[in-house]
Structure 1
Amino acid sequence: MSSNAFVYTELQLAMPFSEAPWRELNLVIKAQPGFVNKTWLAGVSNQSLGGLYQFDSIESAKAFVTGYFPLEAAQIGVAQTTRVFDASEVEEASKFLNSMHFGGSLTQEPGAFVYTEAQISAPFAEAPWRDMNPILKGQPGLLHKTWLSGVHTHSVGGFYAFDTIDNATRFVLEYFPSEAAKLNVAYTTRLFDAAVVKAASLDMGSPFFMHSASAND
């Protein structure tokens, strides 16, 4: 059974992921009500830290972004971004793109993650995902996509896994801007290095990585 909410977070700092206290943070985050899993995010170029989470309900996700996460950011002393998305609306669209959050198959581990959000307000049922999915599926290096539908805002976005940072970079610099231009909307894209977060993400039940003897090195 799929979870009912996704949460995106990012802290406005620059810290090599190898220096992040992820082991200590993982213990605390696992204890948060409704937590299901987390994929850690490490910003390419800026070395920001963040995550893509699953929660068992929108209520649990809201409690996380209004309670625990702001306190964590305050303790570190940095500004932060959080977004809550309704998972129940995007299952069909996401399954077409092999979403690991909806039972996709993992045949290779990602080299990069991409987060996108378009500044529009459209109920997901009205979004042109059926037209866009075949085009997205043909993007070089795309392994998985989970569609995102903003709670309250009805913004439309996605969380993508690519085989390499190069292919993910091409996507955020070339393809996605052209799609946003067709919609005549502003947008956000974020690019993350997947390789450096494997051990931390596996510890949090992330579906994007294969267990191995070296996963916790």
Structure 2
Amino acid sequence: MSNAAFVYTELQISAPFDQVPWQSVNAAIRELPGFRNKTWLSGIETNSAGGFYEFDSIENAQSFVTDYFPTEARDVGVAQTTRIFDANAARDASIDMQSPHFGVKPRQKPGAFVYTEIQITVLPFNDAPWPVLNPVLKAQPGLLAKTWLSGLHTGTVGGFYSFDTIENAKKFAVDYFPGEAASLKAAFTTRIFDAGPTETASREMASPVYG
């Protein structure tokens, strides 16, 4: 995974996932340079549409967020969010959290995903206290896996989590995570996604979270 990158995207739309033209989008994305896999995201209550992607290089990830994805958002006529993360920076921390993006076989199919990002800068990533945080995270109800995220250029710290149920994902995002951010005196972002409606679309894009 040398020089690999993760990308998080979200479109400011509200549409049930069965109304998203994911088949045509998948076909287009599979042709992009350096694309490896994508997990589709469907926002809880908001019905926003997005994705968590893996690319073979930071350069190809940058091309995706600057060239391809703005065009996709423009075609729909909506605002967008994109983030690039250095996949290698948090490799050890992610493997310790059973991340399927680093070859760990999922224990079970996820019921929900959570995306987080905290407005702090930690460079290099290994200066972050992940050896202390990981045991606490592993004790969170229903947590199946976490891929740690280190923001490209920014050094922001975040995560892409798989949970067994939407209920446990909500407890984590609403009850637990704000306290973690408060301990760092930092602003933060959380998003919760329903893994059920997007399973078929994600499997077609080689998403590792489903095994």
TM bin (shorter chain): over 0.9
SS for the counterpart of 2:189 is strand
Letter in 2 for 1:195: G
* 1:103 shift after superposition: 1.1
Match of 2:208 in 1: 207
* 1:3 shift after superposition: 6.6
Distance in 2, matches of 1:187 and 1:147, equals 15
SS for the counterpart of 1:10 is strand
Match of 2:79 in 1: 79
Match of 1:14 in 2: 14
1:24 and 2:9 are equivalent in the alignment? no
SS for the counterpart of 2:198 is helix
SS for the counterpart of 1:184 is coil
Letter in 2 for 1:203: E
Cα contact 1:3–1:55 (8 A) shared by 2 = no
Unmatched tracts of structure 1, length 5 or more: 211-217
Q: How many percent identity over aligned positions?
A: 58
Aligned residue pairs: how many?
210
Letter in 1 for 2:35: F
Distance in 2, matches of 1:49 and 1:2, equals 29
**1:123-162 → structure 2 map (5 Å cutoff):** 123=123, 124-162=125-163
Letter in 1 for 2:194: D
The alpha-carbon distance between structure 1 residues 67 and 91, as it changes in their structure 2 partners (threshold 3 A), is same
Distance in 2, matches of 1:208 and 1:104, equals 9
Distance in 2, matches of 1:101 and 1:185, equals 27
Runs of 4+ in 1 over 3 A off after TM superposition: none
Cα contact 1:3–1:87 (8 A) shared by 2 = yes
Distance in 2, matches of 1:80 and 1:10, equals 6
Distance in 1, matches of 2:3 and 2:177, equals 27
* 1:122 shift after superposition: 1.0
SS for the counterpart of 2:197 is helix
Distance in 2, matches of 1:77 and 1:33, equals 25
**1:176-215 → structure 2 map (5 Å cutoff):** 176-210=177-211
TM-score (norm 2): 0.98
Distance in 2, matches of 1:54 and 1:98, equals 17
1:49-82: CA deviations, max 9, x gaps? 0000000000000000000000110010000000
1:78-119: CA deviations, max 9, x gaps? 000000000011110000110000111222100000000000
SS for the counterpart of 2:193 is strand
SS for the counterpart of 1:159 is strand
1:130-167: CA deviations, max 9, x gaps? 11000001100000100000001000000000000000
1:30-58: CA deviations, max 9, x gaps? 01111000000000000000000000000
TM-score (norm 1): 0.95
* 1:22 shift after superposition: 0.2
* 1:2 shift after superposition: 6.5
Distance in 2, matches of 1:35 and 1:45, equals 29
Letter in 2 for 1:147: W
SS for the counterpart of 1:178 is helix
